[in-house]
Structure formats: C-alpha cells, structure tokens
C-alpha cells in the first residue's frame, strides 16, 4: 500500500508541545510517511521540547533572528516552506493553532495546492486585535484549511458559522492534554531547590504573564495585585517564570523584585513547567494553552485578559476571566484563596478539553481518509 506523506509544521514551544504527541501517534501508523518541518520561530524553547519528546525534524528553516518582526517571520516561513513543499510534494500539511508559522505554512501549502489540516481549529474571540496577531492567524488558517480538528463542540460551531463543511470537521479534544498527561504521570524533582522546598502547608500560586496587549499599564496592575496578594495571605508563595522580553522583566522586578515570597525565576522547559502546574494551588495567566492544561490537573485558572478564545472553559467552570485591573485580579484571587467551597467548585469541574486521546483520533481520521486526501493534492 502506498503511504500518504504527511508533514507536521511548527515553530514555537507551545506548538511543539501540542504537536509532539500527534507526531508520535502518526509515526505508529504504517500507512503514513511522517515528515517534520520546524521553522524555529522560537529556537531554544523549541529545541527543548523536541529533545523531551525525542523528535528529530526532517527540515529546519532556522528562521529566528534577534528583533524579528511578524512580517519577517511570515516572509521567511512562506519562502522556506514553499521550497520544501515544492520539492517534497506532501499529501497533507498539518499546522497547529494560531502562530505566524501556522498561517505562513498554511499559505505556502495552499500555493502548492496541498491540503491543510488545522489542529486546534475553530477558536475565536471575535476581536481581530485580541489576541494579536493570533486571532487573525487562526481565522486565515481556517480559511486556507481543508480539514479542521476542533478541540470542542463550541469550536465546531464557530467553524459551521463560517460555512466550513461539517464532514471536514472532527471534534478531538486538545492534544495538549495528551502531552500533559505523558509528562506528569510520575514523581518529579525540580532543579530549583526553592521550588522543592515549598511546604505542603503553603499554597503555590503560579503566575505567567507575557502577552503584548498586556505590556505597560495592564501588566503593572497585575504585578501590583499579585504583590498585594502576598500581604493578605501569609501562606502563599508565588512563582513567576519570567518571559525573556526585557519589558516584562523590568516591570516584574519593579513590582515584585523585593518580595521574598515571590520567586522570579527563568523560563522553564516544558516538563518542569508542567510539573510546576501540578504542584500549584492556583494559576494566574494570560496564556492560552494553560487555560486548557491546568483544568486537566484540577487547577483553577484566573485569566489575566479581558476576553478569551476558550469560552468553553469558562462555561465549564474551570476558568474565570479576571481582567487586567488590579481590583478585579485581587478580588477573584482572594476569593479562591479564602473560600474553600469556591475553590473546590472550580478545581472539581469537568475539563472540557478531552481525555488525552486527541492525537489518536486525528491519526485515525487521516488513515480513514487517505484516498480522499491524496486525491485533493493532485487537483
């Protein structure tokens, strides 16, 4: 039987985390010739995930440059992917989510008349500038894709409203749960002794904050609220893996640098970060992926944004939107740290992002539809 050639394309750490279990699942299928193309939109952070999951890329565009703009990323991925697709002639290109790598690779595949499968399809905020540029990246990718692998029913409904054919949509759950469960299923020791030494009687609050729409006053509000939270609750320890961006670091040190119950640490690789989420009592974040991951570990999440493209988590009760005003963040965090009933209601809510079998569902779909997919490439 002729194999179907499937390219998985990704370039950032979050993409790599969510695509790694899918790559490993595809490699189990003898019907599929699996190829991996990385763009290295992020370099070091990407490489650590590839090493963790033992994935050797077949192609590496290595585009990352200091001070690169969105336009730089788009053009370099477009040209680089075009040459590889032209040479390799894949039957299907898989992209993930909403990065600039995702959009540019999907566009390159479209120009070569190769069908695109969009993993984590159908997320929408309805505001093209929030998050920026991710909302437009995923909408444009959705327009270019033939196959749409949606984590939830709500994502599917978003796609149907955009006139996507229902037969090309598959509800899978989120592949991030597949990845998460694979690295948190055993006892873990952190390299940082400060984390290992946090006592069971203390409540670890994990903070992540980096989005560009939060730069400036919103971030100052958030960091100020977190600092005040430690004064109100003497049993908490805050851990903040600082983003590499100098603006984020400057504000973090300004508002939290002198607080001995806030640990400002360097960014963590995926395995220690996943286990830090497992150890946490409460998570405050402006990240998208953490809104999906933390509920899989039974951890309440406060979203440090004014809106989310993951409303099913809010509806399920695993996530609340705290906004970016100091009073709002402080009020919701204070409630969860003070009220055990409120905390348990969120911690015990059912995770809407699946059971850790999303990758297998996508691989099964590709095998089932191999003939249809390969014919599309020849149109």
Give the three-class secondary structure for 55.
Answer: coil
Token readout for 184 is: 């948190």
In the chain, DSSP finds a helix count (H) and a strand count (E) of: 17, 13
* Residues designated as active site: 98, 120, 134, 210, 212, 243
Chain Cα centroid distance, residue 77: 20
Q: How many CB atoms lie within 10 A of CB 369?
A: 18
Residue 31: DSSP 8-state: T
**Contact between residue 147 and residue 365 where contact means Cβ atoms under 8 Å apart:** yes
**Contact between residue 236 and residue 199 where contact means Cβ atoms under 8 Å apart:** no
Q: CA–CA separation, 283 vs 280, rounded Å?
A: 7
Please choose, from the candidates 340, 231, 327, 237, the residue with its C-alpha nearest in 3D space to the C-alpha of residue 280. Answer: 237
Please choose, from the candidates 128, 126, 86, the residue with its C-alpha nearest in 3D space to the C-alpha of residue 108. Answer: 86
Please choose, from the candidates 211, 206, 330, the residue with its C-alpha nearest in 3D space to the C-alpha of residue 272. Answer: 206
How many CA within 13 A on the CB side of residue 331? 9
Please choose, from the candidates 320, 322, 311, the residue with its C-alpha nearest in 3D space to the C-alpha of residue 352. Answer: 311
Q: Angle formed by the axes of helices 358-368 and 175-183, to 10°?
A: 130
Q: CA–CA separation, 155 vs 143, rounded Å?
A: 14
**Contact between residue 76 and residue 100 where contact means Cβ atoms under 8 Å apart:** no
Residue 268: DSSP 8-state: P
Q: CA–CA separation, 54 vs 21, rounded Å?
A: 11
Q: How many CB atoms lie within 10 A of CB 265?
A: 14
Residue 147: DSSP 8-state: E
């Amino acid at each position: 039987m002729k194999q179907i050639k499937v390219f998985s394309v990704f370039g950032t750490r979050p993409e790599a985390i969510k695509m790694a279990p899918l790559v490993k699942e595809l490699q189990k299928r003898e019907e599929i010739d699996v190829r991996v193309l990385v763009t290295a939109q992020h370099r070091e952070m990407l490489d650590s995930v590839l090493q963790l999951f033992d994935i050797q890329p077949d192609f590496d565009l290595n585009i990352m440059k200091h001070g690169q703009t969105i336009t730089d990323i788009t053009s370099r991925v477009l040209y680089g992917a075009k040459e590889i697709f032209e040479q390799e002639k894949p039957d299907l290109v898989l992209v993930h989510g909403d990065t600039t790598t995702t959009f540019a690779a999907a566009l390159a595949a479209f120009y070569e008349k190769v069908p695109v499968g969009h993993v984590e399809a159908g997320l929408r905020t309805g505001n093209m500038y929030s998050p920026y540029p991710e909302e437009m990246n995923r909408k444009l990718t959705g327009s270019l894709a033939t196959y749409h692998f949606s984590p939830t029913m709500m994502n599917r409904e978003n796609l149907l409203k955009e006139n996507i054919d229902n037969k090309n949509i598959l509800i899978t759950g989120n592949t991030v749960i597949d990845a998460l469960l694979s690295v948190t299923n055993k006892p873990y020791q952190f390299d940082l002794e400060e984390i290992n030494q946090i006592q069971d009687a203390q409540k670890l609050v994990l903070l992540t904050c980096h989005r560009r729409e939060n730069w400036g006053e919103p971030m100052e509000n958030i960091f100020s609220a977190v600092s005040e939270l430690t004064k109100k609750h003497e049993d908490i320890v805050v851990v903040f893996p600082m983003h590499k961006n100098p603006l984020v670091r400057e504000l973090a040190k300004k508002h939290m640098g002198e607080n001995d119950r806030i640990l400002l640490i360097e960014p963590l690789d995926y395995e220690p970060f996943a286990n830090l989420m497992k150890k946490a009592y409460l998570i405050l974040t402006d990240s998208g992926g953490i809104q999906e991951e933390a509920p899989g570990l039974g951890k309440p999440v406060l979203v440090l944004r004014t809106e989310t493209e993951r409303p099913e988590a809010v509806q399920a009760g695993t996530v609340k939107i705290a906004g970016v005003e100091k009073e709002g963040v402080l009020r919701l965090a204070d409630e969860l740290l003070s009220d055990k009933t409120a905390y348990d209601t969120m911690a015990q809510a059912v995770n809407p992002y699946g059971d850790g079998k999303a990758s297998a569902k996508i691989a099964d779909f590709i095998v089932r539809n191999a003939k249809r997919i390969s014919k599309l490439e020849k149109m």
